[in-house]
Structure 1
Amino acid sequence: MTTTTSHIPEHVPESEGPDGGVAAARPARLIHTESTTEIPVHLLFREEPAASSSAPPAEVKLRPAVVAHRSPPEQAEQPAKSAKSAKSAKDDRDTRDIGLRARPSAPGVDPEIAERPARVLPGIAGVLAGTFGAAGCAVTAWWAGVLPPLAVEALGVSAGTGGLGPAQWAAFAGAGALGLFGFGGLARGRTGRAWVLELFGRYRGTVRGTGLLWVNPLLLRRRVDVRLRHWRGDPLPAADRGGVALRVAVLVVWRVRDTARATLGVEDHQGYLRACVEAALLRVPVAAPGAGRGAVQATQDALTRLVAADAGPVGVEVCAVRPLRVEYAPEVAAAMHRRRVAALDARHRASVIGSVVDSVEDTVTRLTMRGLLDLDDYERRTLVKDLTVAFCAGRGDTGA
């Protein structure tokens, strides 16, 4: 912040009037905030009012003013923000240069393994190369004179007489290799499927294209399904907030995001996903049977976040983990059933007793208010007891 302040006295006397008196002093500081940068001209060059119209005009005095200049907070912080933005941009460029290697990797996963597109050619290139190779083999056979007689008659050409010499063998080898490479590298790419290519154990890229393609036939191809998939497993062990054992069947919606990590990072990415789900169920308290929708949604969100964090470094994207069926474990199922029945029975008894007490109170109040009974405390207690027993017996007989 840069502040420029001109020094002035605290009070400046006014212009002397015609009577030689001095007017009352008033503050000369016209601008009280340092954030003001523009000063009205009429405040800087102002004439003092005269005492009377007949008096000569007073001498014009210029009042010094405080001119303070303070950079706004936004401008003061602008250099720091610019430096920070430049640093952030540099970090982003570094991250883009690193590419997928910046992803968090699971323990044991090579950070160098990251999906990248493989070099493939359109299928027409393989077809042309195979056709030229086959044609070269045919021409070489005619040149060597080993073309079958039926083919010679069908083509209407004379048989060659060169024989199988070194030149013919070299031509056969070149044309045959060209034909094998051309036709052997043809592949059909389909939507939702990908190939992970390897050459002598080294990752060479991933093919996600569709249609007729030509892939180097020397590369080992591993087909990977990259469509959105779901997995519904058998009931797995879990526990609720109270530590009661449960059995939970879950539905996992997932897909392969990074084919290289899913194929080369782990031996079986589907088995790894099942293990992540089992581990998450043991760490997250599951909503007990009969819980509300809010508790079930909270359980689903917690399971999804945990499984996605565990499976993400191996190239598997988890969209949702939904508990489908939650039940008590067999060893505690009978005890929990008895507990639930007891709770329902206690709730029913409480409702019955409440209704009986209300009925007895209403009956005694009506009899007393109408003057049908004039009872003392002992008789009132006896009447209440008898009515309570009668009402309870009546509700028990009717099954209410």
Structure 2
Amino acid sequence: MQNEKSTTPVSGYTMVAVCLLLLLLGTLGAAVGAKIFGLLIFLPCMLAPGFFFVNPNTSVVLVLFGSYQGTVKTNGFYWVNPFYSKKQISLRARNFDSEKIKVNDKVGNPIQIGVILVWQVRDTFKAAFDVDNYENFVRIQSDSAVRRLAGMYAYDNFEEDSEMTLRSGHDEVNQALEENLKNRLDMAGIHVIEARIGYLAYAPEIASAMLRRQQAAAVVSARFKIVEGAVSMVHMALEQLAQKQIIELDEERKAAMVSNLMVVLCADKDVSPVVNTGTLTP
């Protein structure tokens, strides 16, 4: 496989001076009747197609009758063989914001996902000759990489484990996406500067159900923490009463006290306290 090679053509300003000289000689030859020198007038017209500009962060790929001659990357004004074909390729960094595509995640849930890709051409030979259209190649391969990424991870994880998901593993997931795109786009001479998920959501047909599931999971998790804290507080209260010998409770009264404390501590609304002014004896 051939690789990119840089070349530096003749300065265009030098050839402009040559063309002006040929035009002057041809004009003088025609004036004095020298037909051979008069033909020099037509040479600048034949040389004119060889002039071209290279703008900053732009390259020009030169091809002569199907043979790759090199790439000009230094900006300036140049002249080459008029028979060279010249293809301009931008070296600027470009943003690609993919459309939201509908795919299934690892567990089969339909989701919508989109990617933001920052890329630029590094190897002009590969971009020009190894793929048909490198810009279209970037779009299609980005779509394919996003579909593969979605199949590797679940959108979210409702169980208490450390499995990585699309929603929670931002850095790791984006790194996996970037590595995948680098491998895919390398054959087209494309350098991936950055790749990350730009849009992520459940598909509309299951979004409401998944929202309710997330809310239920959040409520269960919150209740678990509340009960865990309430049990600790009740245990601490019983220990403090026993150590300081403030009051001596039998098992039945302990059970009643635990029940009341748990109701007070775990209730989702403010409780109305009742003051007992009597005795503890039934």
TM-score (ref. length: structure 1): 0.56
**Are the equivalent residues in 2 in contact too, given 1:227–1:256 (CA < 8 A)?**
yes
For 1:370 and 1:186, the matched residues in 2 are separated by 103
For 1:269 and 1:300, the matched residues in 2 are separated by 23
For the pair 1:135 / 2:24, whether they are aligned, the reply is: yes
For 1:137 and 1:328, the matched residues in 2 are separated by 75
Match of 1:283 in 2: 148
Counterpart code for 1:334: S
- 1:344 to partner: Cα distance: 0.9
For the pair 1:396 / 2:261, whether they are aligned, the reply is: no
- 1:178 to partner: Cα distance: 1.9
Question: Which ranges in structure 1 are unaligned for 5 or more consecutive residues?
Answer: 1-100, 102-112, 145-166
Q: Which has the larger radius of gyration?
A: 1
For 1:308 and 1:114, the matched residues in 2 are separated by 18
For the pair 1:210 / 2:75, whether they are aligned, the reply is: yes
Match of 1:370 in 2: 245
Match of 1:253 in 2: 118
- 1:182 to partner: Cα distance: 4.0
Task: Map 1:268-307 to 2 at 5 A.
Answer: 268-284=133-149, 285-286=152-153, 288=155, 295-307=169-181
**Are the equivalent residues in 2 in contact too, given 1:188–1:210 (CA < 8 A)?**
yes
For 2:240 and 2:121, the matched residues in 1 are separated by 76
- 1:295 to partner: Cα distance: 2.9
Match of 2:91 in 1: 226
Deviates more, 1:265-274 or 1:378-387: 378-387
Counterpart code for 1:385: S
Q: 1:262 to 1:384 in 2, by over 3 A?
A: same
TM-score (ref. length: structure 2): 0.76
**Are the equivalent residues in 2 in contact too, given 1:287–1:295 (CA < 8 A)?**
no
For 1:391 and 1:322, the matched residues in 2 are separated by 44
For 1:353 and 1:319, the matched residues in 2 are separated by 49
Q: 1:190 to 1:287 in 2, by over 3 A?
A: farther
Residue 214 of structure 2 aligns to a residue whose secondary structure is: helix
- 1:237 to partner: Cα distance: 4.3
Match of 1:310 in 2: 184
Deviates more, 1:327-336 or 1:293-302: 293-302
Q: 1:380 to 1:330 in 2, by over 3 A?
A: same
**Are the equivalent residues in 2 in contact too, given 1:237–1:281 (CA < 8 A)?**
no
- 1:342 to partner: Cα distance: 0.8
**Are the equivalent residues in 1 in contact too, given 2:101–2:113 (CA < 8 A)?**
yes
Task: Map 1:61-140 to 2 at 5 A.
Answer: 101=1, 114-118=3-7, 120-140=9-29
Q: 1:125 to 1:374 in 2, by over 3 A?
A: closer
Counterpart code for 2:44: G
Q: 1:320 to 1:340 in 2, by over 3 A?
A: same
**Are the equivalent residues in 2 in contact too, given 1:120–1:213 (CA < 8 A)?**
yes
For 1:139 and 1:192, the matched residues in 2 are separated by 43
- 1:289 to partner: Cα distance: 6.3
CA deviation digits over 1:212-263, x for unaligned, max 9? 2112233222111023333232334455544434333323232212212212
Counterpart code for 2:229: S
For 1:182 and 1:199, the matched residues in 2 are separated by 15
Report the number of matched residues: 261
Deviates more, 1:239-248 or 1:266-275: 239-248
CA deviation digits over 1:251-295, x for unaligned, max 9? 323221221221232222111112112212222335746969993
Q: 1:289 to 1:323 in 2, by over 3 A?
A: farther
Question: Which ranges in structure 2 are unaligned for 5 or more consecutive residues?
Answer: 158-164, 272-282
Counterpart code for 1:251: I
Q: Point out which structure has higher relative CO (alpha carbons under 8 A, 6+ apart).
A: 2
Q: 1:265 to 1:387 in 2, by over 3 A?
A: closer
For 1:236 and 1:138, the matched residues in 2 are separated by 66
For 2:60 and 2:66, the matched residues in 1 are separated by 15
Match of 2:275 in 1: none
Percent same amino acid at aligned positions?
A: 25
For 1:353 and 1:384, the matched residues in 2 are separated by 12
Give the counterpart of 1:338 among 188, 191, 212: 212
